[in-house]
Amino acid sequence: MTDTTISRSIETVLKIVNDISPRIASAYQTTTRNELILVGGAALFSVYNLVQYIKDKSTAKYYLPPRVPFALPLVGHSLYLLWDSNQFIDWCAKKYGEVYEISIMGKIVTVASGLSGQEALKADTDFLSLEEGVIKDVLYLQYAIDKTTFEIGFYVNPVVAKAVISHKKVPRHTEGILKGMDAGFKNLLPATDSFVLKDPNHFFQRLIAHMSVPTLIGKEVGDNATVIESFAAFTADVTDNIPIFMSVPVVFHRFITPYLQSFKRHRVIMSKFIAPVVESRRQAADAAKLKGETYKAEDDFLQGLLEFVKPDGTNYTADQVAQATLLVAFASVHTTATNLAFCAYWIVSRPDIKQAILEEIESVVGKDINTELTYEHFENMPYLDKVIRESVRQGADVLAVGKKCLKTFTFSNGYQVPAGRVVETTNRRLNMGLSANRVDISEMDPLESGSRPPTTASRDYVTFGMGKHLCPGRFFAVLEIKLTIIQLLRQYDITPSTSSPAHPVKLIGGFMATNSSAPIRFTKRKL
């Protein structure tokens, strides 16, 4: 375009504006408030439809799954999810099949259930990425940690977890977990014979941190209250900011993040306390090597991280390793605490289940609460295994995972997901099938999973994921949950603090599962 064409176009636009602006001003003065609201609403609706039309045109070349109709402007299908997500998801699956598109707060997402749901869960990260999806787009974890920590968290932590807390290695953490639990009980519970725990979530998260810090991070900081508190609180500090980030456009985030850096302190704490541990372990290993002695390395996650060799043959620095422990906390504390809470609330809500677990504990460990627990004890508690598996199964999100499509993804039925779109899987429906709607507490049946252990994934048990990215921390998480339930029930009777039953699973936004936060009464068992 030449300069003259541009200036002519500008002149024409200005003329049109000059012509119509007095007319707009006079129309505005003579129009009533209701008419203005109506016109404004209609304009908004048209803009919304125009945006959808443009978006639809840009994806016309794909073989897209059916789009569920009846989306409302701006909120899409969110209100239906909020109202009764299980029923809405059932209705969509019946009407549109395994894969379909819905709009959540105006954003189109692909929902995959059945076989397609399994395919989405198993997909390679080159196609469907958790890191680029919920982790960066919803949790904005990139504001809390730097690029190297991200790299360690997503590419090194899975390798280390598979090596350090595998099914075979996890029994050796029993003693450390029990020690941490004892300290947790002492630090977090009142010494009185009977009390009501008003904030059980705080207790469960801190307890998990007490058990995990000595076993995952290291004995050296096993009773360091600052590290334990930071390990427990990191995830909550990240997630607390979500509503703020969601309500402010992404371009403005960099202006507000400096004021929302509650998570910054965790980086400082890890550098201060964990980096010296890394240095001193490395120095001890070097000194032993110089003297020709064998160095007895620790057997924890931190050791796995500090020994990890990068493709260029070097190790991560002490500070980088220290920062990376925050991502161990991120992967483990909230997930394990929530599932421990689900289990505890089922036990609180179902006295029959509690009684059956107690009988099993007494038959395996005996009645004396001073008898020390061993790994062999709880290997022989099949009923408790079933309760844990069923609680974890029931606690799945209705719509889960939120992986972002990085390259066109094609399901085996031919339907496609274009790059940039988020894929949600119907985990609760995958787990529970047609009984996903079941909400009555009395209908929870621990025997439903048969004899499969709580760490074995299957088509109807996807809470730990599926395929290549199946959670490598599940053996450790289940060990912590199991030990906690046994010790809690040996020492206390746990009951609801009010007459209304605590519903173990609650849904945020209608589709994200979280545990009840109802207070729990603890009554010390007599010796």
Could you tell me which residues are annotated as the binding site for heme? 471
Q: Which of residues 369-408 bind ligand HEM (CB under 6 A)?
A: 401
Smallest distance, ligand HEM to C-beta of residue 139, A: 13
Whether 503 and 516 have beta carbons less than 8 Å apart is answered as yes
**348, 365, 353, 340: which is closest to 490 by C-alpha?**
365
Smallest distance, ligand HEM to C-beta of residue 473, A: 2
d(CA 399, CA 484): 29
Q: Is 157 in the site for ligand HEM (CB under 6 A)?
A: yes
Q: Is 207 in the site for ligand HEM (CB under 6 A)?
A: no
Length of the chain counted residue by residue: 527
Q: In the bound complex, which residue of the shown chain has the CB atom lying closest to ligand HEM? A: 473
3-class DSSP state of 514: strand
d(CA 494, CA 348): 6
Q: Is 174 in the site for ligand HEM (CB under 6 A)?
A: no
Q: Is 158 in the site for ligand HEM (CB under 6 A)?
A: yes
Q: What are phi and psi of 4, to 5 degrees?
A: -65, -40
Q: Exposure of 285 by Cβ count < 10 A (0-12 exposed, 13-18 middle, 19+ buried)? A: middle
Q: Is 177 in the site for ligand HEM (CB under 6 A)?
A: no
Q: Is 476 in the site for ligand HEM (CB under 6 A)?
A: yes
Smallest distance, ligand HEM to C-beta of residue 424, A: 12
Contact range with ligand HEM by CB under 6 A, out of 103-111, 345-353, 379-387, 463-471: 463-471
Q: Is 344 in the site for ligand HEM (CB under 6 A)?
A: no
d(CA 305, CA 348): 39
Q: Is 453 in the site for ligand HEM (CB under 6 A)?
A: no
For residue 285 the two structure tokens come to 């290993």
For residues 270, 296, 331, 453, the Cα torsion angle rounded to the nearest 10 degrees is: -160
Q: Is 472 in the site for ligand HEM (CB under 6 A)?
A: yes
Q: Is 335 in the site for ligand HEM (CB under 6 A)?
A: yes
| Helix-strand-coil split of the chain, %, nearest 5 | 60, 10, 30
Which 8-state DSSP code applies to residue 397? -
Pick 198 or 459: Cβ nearer ligand HEM = 459
Amino acid identity, position 93:
A
Whether 244 and 125 have beta carbons less than 8 Å apart is answered as no
Whether 200 and 517 have beta carbons less than 8 Å apart is answered as yes
Pick 68 or 423: Cβ nearer ligand HEM = 423
Among 473, 496, 504, 510, binds ligand HEM (CB under 6 A): 473
Among 78, 463, 515, 516, binds ligand HEM (CB under 6 A): 463
Among 89, 102, 161, 486, binds ligand HEM (CB under 6 A): 161
Q: Is 339 in the site for ligand HEM (CB under 6 A)?
A: yes
Q: Is 304 in the site for ligand HEM (CB under 6 A)?
A: no
* H-helix segments, 189-297: 200-212, 225-239, 242-247, 253-256, 264-291
The pairing of strands 520-524 and 194-197 is antiparallel
Q: Is 325 in the site for ligand HEM (CB under 6 A)?
A: no
Pick 331 or 444: Cβ nearer ligand HEM = 331
Residues binding ligand HEM (CB under 6 A): 121, 130, 157-158, 161, 165, 216, 328, 331-332, 335-336, 339, 401, 463-465, 469, 471-473, 476-477
